[in-house]
């Protein structure tokens, strides 16, 4: 036996890395650890006189210990030779697989038995309870009567109302800054053939309010298919999730099968499933408004698209028996015909169109809400103050517009100021000044949203344009040019945080500068900086970077009432870019008078825009002629 043990020992020269047999033996041991747990495995090995062998580094002894543990036989004493190890390993693996299968089946059976016993116990307790209630004359007890009385008392307590409800627009004429979106949505809903619609725009600008008011207006038009009682049902896409068990679905509806909690007792006891209709049926004949529809579960979106096409929701259940005489007629109707769901869907999102599922976009018209301007915010503040019967001083309204461009936030600040003034003076305030607004804003810790731009012209400084979400912003780009630290080995430096595409724009600008100026740029160290460390997502800052470096290189100042946008090609052409409406809005908000955009973006300029004025350019030579002083 000692000789066999020596034969099974691994070659000392091979101990540097585990052999395939050693890995299989180790894997077998790990499976046993998972089955029994480390402590129980040690106790079991001690009981079978295999603990010492299990801890041995000898492969044969360790396999002998595993053989005792798996076969539950302490009488096995022969140590296998290395030639016998593969065969014994296969036998032990097969035995271990059978053991795991048996344990899994036993666990499942025990779980089912426990569940069945629990069900029988609950049925037994319920039957006894019902019998006792019948004998006592009903379900009411002194305790339940007290709870009923408490609920009745709570119903008599009512607050005056929410201040936000008071200041919310009541008509479409009171909506500020969204006239094109309002007209577009009204045209799509008031038509004899209304369309499903997706509303895009930043948060807090009135998408939900506009949708509700447009439906109210559409009901009054003769050609509108909406009746006077057409519902407006709201849902939040962030809370709508697809349940793979299909037990519950508040959006589309689901079936409460008899075995699940939630089924009506009289149906559950008869084994009858009951369909529960969802929000799509509640919105039948009206509008289903889904806020943040871009956050909704993709599977649920696909289910919703099917409902939009069929205009009905269909239910199914293995418990439904169409020949059962105990099934109520409304259950038969829901299973056989489905629930009506003929509505117009209006979805709102703060995401970009490319982030929305193409299948959903293809079925909907798209409307874009504009960001609110500071003047719009001031108008909203004044109207909110009038609703609260107080005057908001112009300086106070202007201060609010400097700290937020969301209508909802602006109204909240007015309400906070109203409450603060009421608390300070102990009476209904009739005027809100800058001091109260300053107090409210400081407590809310709001940052400034308007940009303070330096208007003194200086070489190497230009204004570019960028887009963040639906908000345009002005980028202050500056450049400095020095003689090369090492002649002939000039270096270019640029913000690492600006993005890889912005760095490509720097390289394009370098080639164009060499073509336009004819200078050897290797004789200069050039540093380009985006003030504030802004990230430029795309090549649209190419022209601005070029002008900044050209201005610094030639020591020529640039006009500070003008912003630039456009991609720069190697030949000096100004190529079209995206986000033109948002960029124009951002330039106007920053107080700039003029914007230079690529000539090919001429059709993207919103109609009727007056400030800033728009200048089209096709080449960098045209840009330089417009901006250099």
The mean per-residue pLDDT over the stretch 527-551 comes to 80
Query: What is the average pLDDT score of the chain?
Result: 83
Q: Does domain 178-368 have CATH number 3.40.50.300?
A: yes
List where CATH 3.30.230.10 sits in the chain.
461-627
Whether 7 is catalytic: no
CA angle at 268 for the pair 262 and 271, rounded to the nearest 5°: 135
The mean per-residue pLDDT over the stretch 528-553 comes to 80
- Reported as a pLDDT band with limits 50, 70 and 90, residue 5 is very low
Whole-angstrom Cα distance, residue 271 to residue 247? 16
State both tokens at 520. Answer: 């050897």
The CATH class for the domain spanning 375-444 reads mainly alpha
Whether 207 is catalytic: no
Residue 4 has pLDDT above 50, yes or no: no
Q: Among the options 62, 188, 575, 583, which is catalytic?
A: 583
Whole-angstrom Cα distance, residue 190 to residue 238? 28
State both tokens at 481. Answer: 């040019």
pTM of the model: 0.67
Total residue length of the chain: 629
Half-sphere exposure of 360 (CA within 13 A, CB side): 26
The mean per-residue pLDDT over the stretch 182-199 comes to 92
Write the pLDDT tens digit of every residue in 580-615: 888 888 888 788 889 999 999 888 888 777 778 899
Write the pLDDT tens digit of every residue in 81-138: 878 888 888 888 888 888 888 888 888 888 888 888 887 777 777 777 766 656 555 5
Q: Does domain 461-627 have CATH number 3.75.10.10?
A: no
Contact (CB, 8 A) for 195 and 287: no
- Contacts of residue 31, defined as CB under 8 A and 6 or more positions apart, other chains included, come to 96, 100
pLDDT number for residue 517? 82
Residue 2 has pLDDT above 70, yes or no: no
pLDDT number for residue 14? 43
List where CATH 3.40.50.300 sits in the chain.
178-368
List where CATH 1.10.8.60 sits in the chain.
375-444
Task: State CA 66 to chain mean position distance.
Answer: 52
Nearest in space to 47 (alpha carbons), one of 71, 72, 18 = 72
Contact (CB, 8 A) for 200 and 217: no
Whole-angstrom Cα distance, residue 29 to residue 248? 44
Residue 482 has pLDDT above 80, yes or no: yes
Whole-angstrom Cα distance, residue 78 to residue 72? 15
pLDDT number for residue 280? 93
Q: Among the options 5, 184, 505, 540, which is catalytic?
A: 540
DSSP 205: S
Nearest in space to 547 (alpha carbons), one of 481, 477, 494, 612 = 477
Contact (CB, 8 A) for 588 and 523: no
CB atoms near residue 343 (< 10 Å): 24
pLDDT number for residue 184? 92
Helix axes 20-36, 85-136, angle to 10 degrees: 20
């Amino acid at each position: 036996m000692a000789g066999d043990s020596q034969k099974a020992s691994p070659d000392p020269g091979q101990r540097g890395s585990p052999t395939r047999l050693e890995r299989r033996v180790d894997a077998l041991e790990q499976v046993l650890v998972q089955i029994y747990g480390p402590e129980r495995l040690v106790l079991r090995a001690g009981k079978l006189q295999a603990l010492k062998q299990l801890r041995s580094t000898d492969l044969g002894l360790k396999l002998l210990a595993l053989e005792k543990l798996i076969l539950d036989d302490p009488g096995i004493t022969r140590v296998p030779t290395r030639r016998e190890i593969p065969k014994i390993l296969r036998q032990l693996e097969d035995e271990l697989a059978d053991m795991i299968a048996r344990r899994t089946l036993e666990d499942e059976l025990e779980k089912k038995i426990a569940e069945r016993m629990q069900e029988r116990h609950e049925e037994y307790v319920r039957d006894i309870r019902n019998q006792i209630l019948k004998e006592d004359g009903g379900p009411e007890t002194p305790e339940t009567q007290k709870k009923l009385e408490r609920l009745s008392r709570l119903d008599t307590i009512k607050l005056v109302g929410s201040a936000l409800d008071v200041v919310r627009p009541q008509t479409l004429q009171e909506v500020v800054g969204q006239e094109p979106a309002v007209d577009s949505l009204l045209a799509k809903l008031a038509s004899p053939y209304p369309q499903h619609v997706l509303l895009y725009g930043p948060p807090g600008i009135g998408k939900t309010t506009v949708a509700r008011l447009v439906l109210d207006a559409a009901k009054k038009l003769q050609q509108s298919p909406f009746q006077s009682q057409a519902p407006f049902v709201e849902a939040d896409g962030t809370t709508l999730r697809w349940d793979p068990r299909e037990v519950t679905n508040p959006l589309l509806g689901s079936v409460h099968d008899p075995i699940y909690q939630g089924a009506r007792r009289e149906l559950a006891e008869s084994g009858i499933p009951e369909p529960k209709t969802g929000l799509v049926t509640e919105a039948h004949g009206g509008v289903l408004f889904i806020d943040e529809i871009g956050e909704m579960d993709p599977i649920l979106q696909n289910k919703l698209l099917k409902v939009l096409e069929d205009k009905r929701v269909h239910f199914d259940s293995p418990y439904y028996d169409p020949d059962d005489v105990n099934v109520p007629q409304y259950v038969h109707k829901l299973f056989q015909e489905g629930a009506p769901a003929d509505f117009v869907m209006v979805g709102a999102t703060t995401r970009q169109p490319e982030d929305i599922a193409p299948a959903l976009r293809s079925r909907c018209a798209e409307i874009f809400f504009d960001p609110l301007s500071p003047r719009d915010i001031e108008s909203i503040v004044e109207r909110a103050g009038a609703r609260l019967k107080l005057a908001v001083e112009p300086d106070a309204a202007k201060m609010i517009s400097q700290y937020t461009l969301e209508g909802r936030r602006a109204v909240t600040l007015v309400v906070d100021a109203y409450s603060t003034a009421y608390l300070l003076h102990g009476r209904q305030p009739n005027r809100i000044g800058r001091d109260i607004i300053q107090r409210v804003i400081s407590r809310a810790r709001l940052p400034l949203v308007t940009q303070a731009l330096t208007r003194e012209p200086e070489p190497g400084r230009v204004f570019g344009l960028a887009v963040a979400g639906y908000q345009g912003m002005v980028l202050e780009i500056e450049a400095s040019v020095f003689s090369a630290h090492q002649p002939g080995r000039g270096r270019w430096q640029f913000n690492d945080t600006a993005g890889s595409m912005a760095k490509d724009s720097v390289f394009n600008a370098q080639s164009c500068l060499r073509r336009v100026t004819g200078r050897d740029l290797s004789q200069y160290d050039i540093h380009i900086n985006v003030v504030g460390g802004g990230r430029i997502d795309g090549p649209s800052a190419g022209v601005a970077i070029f002008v900044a470096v050209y201005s610094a290189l030639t020591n020529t100042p640039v006009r500070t009432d003008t912003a630039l946008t456009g991609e720069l090609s190697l030949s000096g052409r100004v190529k079209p870019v995206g986000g033109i409406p948002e960029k124009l809005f951002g330039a106007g908000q920053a107080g700039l008078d003029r914007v230079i955009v690529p000539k090919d973006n001429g059709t993207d300029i919103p109609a009727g825009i007056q400030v800033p004025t728009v200048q089209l350019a096709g080449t960098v030579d045209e840009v330089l002629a417009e901006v250099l002083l």
